[in-house]
């Protein structure tokens, strides 16, 4: 939504609010959750239907007999599945609820002739129909592989719930069947067969219908997910990349993270004038942008408005990771979102860098020791390397990665040696010895992307684990020393998360709260390299540029944090590698195709 607020001059300006769960969708989602839980409880536990809660459960769809138990479980599970979609105002969740509630009302009247049950179902249906315009969000990016995930999760949930159903009728059970017999009975019941467990009276029918309903739901939802139309995640098209490169040619020197917008697993929205753009990726319902908008600062509001409109259309949670102070001011001013300092970017000015002096003694000694060990360095532009050497560097970087998935999103390009990235800088360490490895004398690699015409930003650091310690320090110093001949005046190093808290927390006089916060960060550094990155960057005496996260409300921060860790590769919720489809081969852009054509000619 939008509104008008006065600025410092007294004039009004439009505020673009991010999509917030309105009162009606949130209330409907809570009602669906409550009804779903009560329906499941009514269908599973026989005592529940004879307790004081019977008066409430009695008017809910499906709460008596074998058919009622199956209907109760079906309605409960489906409503629980729909609740999240309704909260996010998804159109398809609304359609499913509109169909499900009348079906429950018909079942109430046909099996029980309950007018009250019909009224309750229609009463919940009434606000859905009245406020149908609230539920207009478009689908999220998805693929048919979610059908397999649904089958596994629903199958496991049905097995556990089936065990509860089988065991809930203990007094009516014939004999004392073992756990293995009960599991076998559940597995048989999910596919419509009779198992080894027997009950007195009509309880066998109740259990059989309930298990059959769970199996039916698992099958139907899996089939639906397998055959529904795909909405693949957006990717950077060739035209989008060409337009972004044109913007970077004019305005790329403003933000050190600008070139990372050319990652090809991002989508982009442009301002109406085409003079600015915001790139993003959607992860778990979070529309995650990184860095500042690309292009003319005067056109940023138009691109931000398009970004917020896209988030509202899909009911995504808008967020920005790693924007600068200027970017944070524009985002918060134009959208009404909040900003929180996330950390600092280490920037080294080449003219001010020197290995002399006491402060640089450790780095100086390490570099001299490695050079005496026989290592040499080379710093070149990507366009100056042969294809054979580039291929060897790619294979080495892949082998030395150390993790199953590629890490990085906000400060990672995701590729090395693309012909369209000829201005990228690469620093390599070499050591000629008798036992050359599969990558020749190559021992370490640093890759930098352009930052305007006179700067570079560190993209990745990879080294042979058998090489001497200090390879990264050696190559950074080599890149800084080679910068004058390459017309580079500034180098952006790693991003240090919560740098200020770490720096202030170790000083004399730090309060107990700050010390406790620093202690927690040091503890988390065992997994996320928070402290080690800060100390590594600090070795080169950089200037620190603050970076911010922009978010809608504090309750969104945990969700944004998880999405950011997924994007950066620290949390992997994807299917196992054996079950995932291989990604398509990297798409060469128009510049690469043209360059290859010239070489062939």
**Whether residues 456 and 548 fall in one domain:** no
Percent of the chain with pLDDT strictly greater than 70: 77
**Whether residues 197 and 258 fall in one domain:** no
The confidence score (pLDDT) of residue 9 equals 38
Are the C-beta atoms of residues 88 and 285 closer than 8 Å to each other? yes
**Whether residues 187 and 260 fall in one domain:** no
Q: For 311-360, write each residue's pLDDT tens digit.
A: 888 888 899 998 999 999 999 999 989 999 988 999 999 999 999 888 89
Q: Which residue has the higher pLDDT, 148 or 491?
A: 491
The confidence score (pLDDT) of residue 72 equals 67
Q: Which two tokens stand for residue 126?
A: 């009434």
Closest alpha carbon to 73 in 175, 157, 188: 157
**Whether residues 70 and 191 fall in one domain:** no
Select from 440, 468, 491 the last residue of a domain. Answer: 491
The confidence score (pLDDT) of residue 577 equals 46
- Kindly report which listed range (266-270, 304-308, 523-527, 575-579) carries the lowest average pLDDT score: 575-579
Question: Chain-wide mean pLDDT for the chain?
Answer: 78
Closest alpha carbon to 194 in 166, 168, 175: 166
Max CA-CA distance within the chain? 92
Look at residue 472 and tell me if it is in a domain.
Answer: yes
How large is the average pLDDT for residues 162-166?
A: 83
Look at residue 8 and tell me if it is in a domain.
Answer: no
How distant, in Å, are the alpha carbons of 79, 319, 585, 586 from that of 281? Answer: 29, 10, 19, 18
The confidence score (pLDDT) of residue 63 equals 40
**Whether residues 359 and 477 fall in one domain:** yes
The confidence score (pLDDT) of residue 466 equals 85
Q: How confident is the model at residue 224 (pLDDT cuts 50, 70, 90)?
A: confident
Q: How confident is the model at residue 100 (pLDDT cuts 50, 70, 90)?
A: confident
pLDDT tops 50 at residue 596 = no
pLDDT tops 90 at residue 228 = no
pTM of the complete model beyond 0.85:
no
The confidence score (pLDDT) of residue 22 equals 59
Parallel, antiparallel, or unpaired for β 286-290 and 442-451?
A: unpaired
Look at residue 6 and tell me if it is in a domain.
Answer: no
How large is the average pLDDT for residues 451-476?
A: 90
Residue-number span of the structural domain to which 162 is assigned: 142-227
Look at residue 5 and tell me if it is in a domain.
Answer: no
Q: Which range among 80-94, 211-225, 445-459, 500-514 has the greatest average pLDDT?
A: 445-459
Look at residue 11 and tell me if it is in a domain.
Answer: no
**Whether residues 514 and 543 fall in one domain:** yes
Look at residue 543 and tell me if it is in a domain.
Answer: yes
**Whether residues 514 and 451 fall in one domain:** no
**Whether residues 455 and 509 fall in one domain:** no
With 0-12 CB in 10 A as exposed, 13-18 as middle and 19+ as buried, what is 179? exposed
What is the residue-wise DSSP string for 444-470? Answer: EEEEEEEETTTEEEEEEEEE-TTSPTT
- Kindly report which listed range (85-94, 211-220, 222-231, 465-474) carries the lowest average pLDDT score: 222-231
Q: For 59-75, write each residue's pLDDT tens digit.
A: 544 444 566 667 667 76
Q: Which residue has the higher pLDDT, 123 or 281?
A: 281
**Whether residues 182 and 123 fall in one domain:** no
**Whether residues 27 and 102 fall in one domain:** yes
Q: In angstroms, how far is the first alpha carbon of the chain from the final one?
A: 55
Q: For 4-49, write each residue's pLDDT tens digit.
A: 444 433 443 444 444 454 567 777 777 777 766 766 776 676 554 4
**Whether residues 479 and 384 fall in one domain:** yes
How large is the average pLDDT for residues 355-380?
A: 91
Q: How confident is the model at residue 307 (pLDDT cuts 50, 70, 90)?
A: very high
Q: For 231-262, write each residue's pLDDT tens digit.
A: 556 688 889 999 999 999 999 899 999 999 99
Q: Phi and psi for 332 in degrees, rounded to 5? A: -70, -35
How large is the average pLDDT for residues 178-207?
A: 82
pLDDT tops 80 at residue 472 = yes
Q: Which residue has the higher pLDDT, 230 or 69?
A: 69
Select from 80, 111, 134 the last residue of a domain. Answer: 134
pLDDT tops 60 at residue 310 = yes
Q: In 3-state terms, what secondary structure has residue 481?
A: helix
Q: In 3-state terms, what secondary structure has residue 199?
A: strand
Look at residue 376 and tell me if it is in a domain.
Answer: yes
Q: How confident is the model at residue 274 (pLDDT cuts 50, 70, 90)?
A: very high
For the chain, how many structural domains are there in total?
4
Look at residue 9 and tell me if it is in a domain.
Answer: no
Q: Phi and psi for 80 in degrees, rounded to 5? A: -65, -40
Q: How confident is the model at residue 183 (pLDDT cuts 50, 70, 90)?
A: confident
**Whether residues 60 and 76 fall in one domain:** yes
Q: Give the Cα separation of 468 and 213 in Å (integer).
A: 62
The confidence score (pLDDT) of residue 66 equals 67
CA angle 531-533-539, nearest 5°?
105
Select from 437, 471, 491 the last residue of a domain. Answer: 491
């Amino acid at each position: 939504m939008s509104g008008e607020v006065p600025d410092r001059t007294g004039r009004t300006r439009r505020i673009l609010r991010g999509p917030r769960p309105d009162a009606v969708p949130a209330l409907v989602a809570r009602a669906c959750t409550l009804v779903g839980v009560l329906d499941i409880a009514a269908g599973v536990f026989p005592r529940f239907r004879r307790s004081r809660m019977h008066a409430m459960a009695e008017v809910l769809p499906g709460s008596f007999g074998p058919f009622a138990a199956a209907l109760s479980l079906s309605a409960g599970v489906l409503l629980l599945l729909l609740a999240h979609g309704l909260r996010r105002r998804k159109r398809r969740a609304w359609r499913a609820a509109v169909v499900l509630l009348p079906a429950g009302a018909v079942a109430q009247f046909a099996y029980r002739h309950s007018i009250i049950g019909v009224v309750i179902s229609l009463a919940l249906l009434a606000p859905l129909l009245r406020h149908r315009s609230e539920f207009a969000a478009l689908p999220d990016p998805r693929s048919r592989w979610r059908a397999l995930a649904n089958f596994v999760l629903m199958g496991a949930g049905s097995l556990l719930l089936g065990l509860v159903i089988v065991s809930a009728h203990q007094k009516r059970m014939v004999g004392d069947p073992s756990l293995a017999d009960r599991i076998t009975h559940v597995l048989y019941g999910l596919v419509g067969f009779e198992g080894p467990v027997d009950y007195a009276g009509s309880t066998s029918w109740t259990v059989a219908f309930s298990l059959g309903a769970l199996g039916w739901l698992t099958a139907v939802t899996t089939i639906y997910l397998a055959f529904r139309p795909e909405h693949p995640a957006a990717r950077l098209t060739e035209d989008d990349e060409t337009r972004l490169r044109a913007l970077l040619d004019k305005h790329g020197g403003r933000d050190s993270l600008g070139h990372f917008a050319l990652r090809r697993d991002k989508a982009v929205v442009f301002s109406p004038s085409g003079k600015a753009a915001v790139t993003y990726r959607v992860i778990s319902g979070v529309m995650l942008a990184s860095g500042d908008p690309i292009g003319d600062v005067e056109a940023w509001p138009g691109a931000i408005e398009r970004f917020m409109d896209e988030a509202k259309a899909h009911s995504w949670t808008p967020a920005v990771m790693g924007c600068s102070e200027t970017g944070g001011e524009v985002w918060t001013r134009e959208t009404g979102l909040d900003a929180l300092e996330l950390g600092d970017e280490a920037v080294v000015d080449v003219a001010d860098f020197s290995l002399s002096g006491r402060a640089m003694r450790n780095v100086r000694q390490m570099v001299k020791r490695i050079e005496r060990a026989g290592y040499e360095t080379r710093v070149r532009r990507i366009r100056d390397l042969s294809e054979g050497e580039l291929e060897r560097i790619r294979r080495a970087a892949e082998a030395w990665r150390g993790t199953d998935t590629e890490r990085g999103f906000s400060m990672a390009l995701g590729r090395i040696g693309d012909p369209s990235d000829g201005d990228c800088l690469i620093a390599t360490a070499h050591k000629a010895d008798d036992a050359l490895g599969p990558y020749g004398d190559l021992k370490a690699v640093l890759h930098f992307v352009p930052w305007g015409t006179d700067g570079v930003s560190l993209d990745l650091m990879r080294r042979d684990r058998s090489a001497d310690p200090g390879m990264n320090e050696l190559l950074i110093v080599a890149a800084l020393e080679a910068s004058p001949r390459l017309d580079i005046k500034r180098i952006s190093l790693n991003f240090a998360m919560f740098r200020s808290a770490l720096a202030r927390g170790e000083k004399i006089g730090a309060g107990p709260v700050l010390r406790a916060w620093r202690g927690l960060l040091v503890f988390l550094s065992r997994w996320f390299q928070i402290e080690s990155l800060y100390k590594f960057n600090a070795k080169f005496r950089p200037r620190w540029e603050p970076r911010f996260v922009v978010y809608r409300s504090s309750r969104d921060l945990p969700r944004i944090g998880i999405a950011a860790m997924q994007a950066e590769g620290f949390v992997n919720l994807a299917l196992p590698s054996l079950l995932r489809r291989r990604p398509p081969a990297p798409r060469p852009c128009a510049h690469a195709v043209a360059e290859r054509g010239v070489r062939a000619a």
